[in-house]
Amino acid sequence: MPQQRPACLSLPVRKLLAGLILPIPLLLAACGGSDNDEPVADGTPVTPPATEPETPPLAESPYLKAVAGDLLEVAIEELKPTQAAIGYDQIYYKLGRWQPDFTRPTWAANDAQQLVYLNRTVGKKFDDFCEDTGRGERAQPFQTLAEAGAARLDDPSTFACRDEPGTDDAALKTVVVGPEGVLYLTDGHHGFSSLYEIADGGPKLKVWVKVSANYSDAATQAEFWQRMVDSRQAWLRDTDNQPITPEQLPTRVGLLHDDRPGGMAEDRYRSLVYFTRGIAYDNGGLPEFAEFYWGDWMRRQTTAGNLKPFTDYRTGVQGDVQTDVLAQSTLNSTLQPGNSNTSYSAMVRDAALRMTALADTDVVSGERTAAELGRIVLVSGAPNPSPTKRARDELEELARNDVNGSGNSRGAGKLWFAINYRYCGAPATGTCWGW
């Protein structure tokens, strides 16, 4: 078979070379080709080899140049967690309270009571949203049932906050700017998780946050996370308080879902600590991670046998009867336990009594003392009003429903909302909410 001739050579030259015994690669090299080129017919122009299109550079993050104190309006999905877990029952409380039954028959013939109920429930959602974005509360309560029913977080035209974003600077949740301008949430995991889960919220919902630091100049991820830990802006512990790596953190706020990977794990001690708030400790002005320190202390107390384990109580996760979970527990004026000893509020009561029994100088966890972590001192026989009486009332109200003895709407307890939501989902007529 005759040798193929390089198409790039002119016809006279090809005739001259036809009788020469030259290796094909040399001929092709003379044309700038390669020995892998496909042969082409005489005179057909050579098509240059295709080149890969250049990948356009990634858009620079708009947050790279943010400095401490800057206020940013961002979508919730842009916020990356700096802790592994949250208290699910705290989220369930919000989801149960923020989503009222707009057609509830309890006050079907009493629009005034229905409006009171809606202002205490869905109204609380907008109060919390305004407060967490530094805008105070709502500009005013809902004036009509229609107004309450039309308000949506994802439609700012349907509600108004009292102030402009950031007016209450201290109320804003905080972020650190990391490498490539990624925003790492350092406060507000529970609040933003609740907004992520609510029907008119979700990952695209816009919120306001405040920059506490910009570490985007860190040379490596390892350097960035070391700075985060050193500045107490990351909690690299799992639900058993064991160390984890930054790579093991969730990728988004919100609960775990099979169809939405990346959510935050459930820390049951973190829920328990939340419900002891106002009974065993005050939440104002606490150091970073205060409630994780209390949770760590509770774990160790349980291991040591000083606190009964979760399995000794009815908490709604072991097939417990709903009414048993919500049975009321109390402390009398001499701080003696009363009513149920096995309900969820009984577990809260028992944990609170152990917390308040600490001395101010007792170390709770991480070198933090009970006084630093807001311990409330309970005093037998304390008068009304007093911190002790307020703590006893807070405990008594945990499992209280939202209808008083006269059939009117009243504020219900956090546990009542949380457990009903865990069992029944959002409030609706004909479900296990009880109407």
The 3-state DSSP class for residue 85 equals strand
Q: Are residues 90 and 232 in the same domain?
A: yes
Q: Are residues 293 and 218 in the same domain?
A: no
Q: Are residues 203 and 117 in the same domain?
A: yes
State the pLDDT at residue 7.
43
Q: Are residues 226 and 334 in the same domain?
A: no
CA distance 82 to 149: 35
Is 426 inside a domain boundary? Answer: no
Task: Using DSSP bridges, classify how beta strands 329-331 and 265-266 pair: parallel, antiparallel or unpaired.
Answer: unpaired
Q: Within 10 A of 141 (CB to CB), how many other CB atoms are there?
A: 16
State the pLDDT at residue 48.
54
Q: Kindly state the helix (H) or strand (E) to which residue 213 belongs, with its residue range.
A: strand 206-214
Number of H helices, E strands in the chain: 14, 11
Is 414 inside a domain boundary? Answer: no
Query: Could you tell me which residues come within 8 angstroms of residue 400 by beta carbon, excluding any fewer than 6 positions away?
Result: 328, 410, 412, 413, 416
pTM of the model as a whole = 0.86
Q: Are residues 259 and 302 in the same domain?
A: no
Is 431 inside a domain boundary? Answer: no
State the pLDDT at residue 362.
98
φ, ψ at 332 (rounded to 5°) = -85, -175
Q: Are residues 255 and 320 in the same domain?
A: no
Let me know: does 97 contact 129? Beta carbons within 8 Å: no
φ, ψ at 347 (rounded to 5°) = -65, -40
Q: Are residues 76 and 20 in the same domain?
A: no
Let me know: does 250 contact 262? Beta carbons within 8 Å: yes
Residue with the two structure tokens 């009292």: 162
Q: Are residues 118 and 157 in the same domain?
A: yes
Q: Are residues 227 and 86 in the same domain?
A: yes
Q: Are residues 224 and 292 in the same domain?
A: no
State the pLDDT at residue 276.
98
State the pLDDT at residue 42.
53
The 3-state DSSP class for residue 54 equals coil
Domain count, the chain: 3
The domain in which residue 108 lies consists of 62-266
Q: Are residues 134 and 219 in the same domain?
A: yes
State the pLDDT at residue 34.
42
Average pLDDT per consecutive 10 residues, the chain (435 residues; last block may be shorter): 42 37 38 44 53 62 96 98 98 98 96 97 97 94 97 97 94 97 97 97 97 97 98 96 97 96 97 98 94 97 97 93 97 97 98 98 96 98 95 98 96 98 97 96
Residue type, 260: R
State the pLDDT at residue 297.
98
